[in-house]
Amino acid sequence: MIIILMGPPGSGKGTQAVRLAEKTDLPHIAVGDMLREAVDSKSKLGKKAAEFMSSGSLVPDELTIDLVKERLSRLDCDKGFILDGFPRSQIQADALEEILDEMEYKVVYIDIPLEEVIKRNSKRVSCRSCRTVYNIDNNPTTKEGVCDQCGGGLYQRDDDKPDVIKHRFGVYVEKTKPLVDFYSDKDKLLQVSGLGGMDAVFEALLGVLEIAP
Ligand code: AMP
């Protein structure tokens, strides 16, 4: 099964992708996490990607396409995968069509309005080690500032600061949102509201994907 999760920054797609991966035993391909790892390790890709990421812009298509192509060619993707954060532009969507060839896939769009995007992202903190994402208001850690999963320290990503969030949302509306129509025209699009709690959104996701709860 190939699942592509789409939605504005803060729609919860990363959190839902982790749960979906546990449920289906499919690999979770989180392109933002892969890019942050590249930045942290100061690799060639990381050095090129860093300035785009910290300003909330998209990393150039050719870099992300190569990254995803390589990741999807690995053995663990043979039985399917969950793509989180790709494609984010028409060029990436066209490249993905080529990569997938005629393989079947489903796209789920998690929809939330702009006010909620800003509210959620400004309350978002991430683990420096394992990158698990928390929300200070509605998904806090047991011990403040410490990751429940691995004990790592939490921080606010530079691109979760209010000005950058607004820019990220603008980039999303301009470059990524049009893909909703692209996939809808192909009859691939499923949609859930991202406004409920995490459990409600997950249940809705399982429902549209026809996965038994
Ligand atoms: P995310 O963790 O998915 O919110 O992504 C964080 C940042 O990584 C984005 O704001 C972009 O700068 C970059 N990024 C992630 N995925 C992509 C992509 N498919 N294309 C270009 N840039 C991306």
Hey, where are the domains in the chain? 2-113+176-209
Confirm if 39 and 76 have CB atoms less than 8 A apart: no
pLDDT (0 to 100) of residue 122: 83
Q: Is the CB of 58 under 6 A from ligand 1?
A: yes
Q: Tokens 């603008």: give the residue.
A: 170
For a ligand 1 pocket test, name from 13, 15, 16, 35 the mutation site with the most ligand atoms within 8 angstroms of its C-beta: 35
Instruction: Record the pTM.
Output: 0.89
CATH topology of domain 2-113+176-209: Rossmann fold (3.40.50)
Per-residue pLDDT of the chain (213 residues; tens, 9 = 90+): 999 999 998 888 999 999 999 999 999 999 999 999 999 999 999 999 999 999 999 999 999 999 999 999 999 999 999 999 999 999 999 999 999 998 999 999 999 987 888 788 888 899 999 999 998 888 899 999 999 999 999 999 888 888 888 898 899 999 999 999 999 999 999 999 999 888 999 999 999 999 998
How many angstroms is it from 1 CA to the middle of ligand 1? 23
pLDDT (0 to 100) of residue 144: 94
How many angstroms is it from 59 CA to the middle of ligand 1? 7
Q: Is the CB of 172 under 6 A from ligand 1?
A: no
Scanning 3-153, the segments in alpha helix (DSSP H) are 13-24, 31-40, 44-55, 61-72, 90-100, 114-122
Between strands 133-135 and 106-111, the pairing is unpaired
pLDDT (0 to 100) of residue 171: 94
Catalytic residue among 88, 120, 131, 175: 88
Q: Is the CB of 35 under 6 A from ligand 1?
A: yes
Could you give the CA distance from residue 33 to residue 68 in angstroms, rounded to a whole number? 12
Catalytic residue among 71, 120, 157, 175: 157
pLDDT (0 to 100) of residue 92: 98
Work out the angle between the directed axes of helices 44-55 and 61-72 (0-180°, nearest 10): 120
pLDDT (0 to 100) of residue 23: 97
Could you give the CA distance from residue 128 to residue 111 in angstroms, rounded to a whole number? 27
pLDDT (0 to 100) of residue 146: 96
Kindly tell me the burial class for residue 114, based on how many C-beta atoms sit within 10 Å of its own C-beta (0-12, 13-18, 19 or more). middle
Please count the CA atoms within 13 angstroms of the CA of 128 that sit on its side-chain side: 11
Catalytic residue among 13, 36, 71, 131: 13
How many angstroms is it from 192 CA to the middle of ligand 1? 22
Q: Is the CB of 171 under 6 A from ligand 1?
A: no
Q: Is the CB of 26 under 6 A from ligand 1?
A: no
Q: Is the CB of 10 under 6 A from ligand 1?
A: no
Catalytic residue among 71, 124, 131, 175: 124
- Answer positive or negative: Cα dihedral of 181, 185, 60, 132: positive
